[in-house]
Amino acid sequence: MSVRHSNGVALGQSSKAQFALRRACAAAVRHADCVRDSRRHLLEIVKTLYIGRLLPKWVTQGTEMFNQKPERGIEFLQEHGVLTTPLDPHEVAIFLRENPDLDKKMIREYICKRSSRGEDEDGGPSVLGAFADIFDYAGLRIDQALRLYLETFRLPGEEPLNFRGM
């Protein structure tokens, strides 16, 4: 069986060896790419498992930091990949609402600050707006809706913060 070039001409003995060598090299490159992709995929799996194991620890530490100084707690959670960078207000709102270990006074302090309300940015979404939007007010009377919203943070405190929170 003779090996033919793509233009139909039969290849000589040295050409056959070159052709076989090219095929072997191409196969090796494909194999190396597969190994590289497999290695990359394996590293991603290990990283995901490692982060998954550390995630509860980081959330706990971030919660403790948030309860002392809210901005520092949020920064810590961003640094460790629990919250995205740049900060997604909806993601922060879910964290604030779903984390039962957060101090309600600190939640109010954080969502009512000017920087988290989006006033420093040009019309971007605010944490306060996202926090108010994650509640399902459908079918509730106004007093029930207010109770649902206000039970997630502690209202007494500075009058301006209370006004902003409302």
Return the active site residues.
Answer: 158
The owner of tokens 């640094």 is: 79
Tell how many helices (H) and how many strands (E) occur in the chain: 8, 0
Distances (CA, A) of 106 to 15, 84, 111: 77, 21, 9
17 dihedral zone (left: phi>0; alpha: psi -120 to 50; beta): alpha
H-run or E-run covering 59? helix 13-68
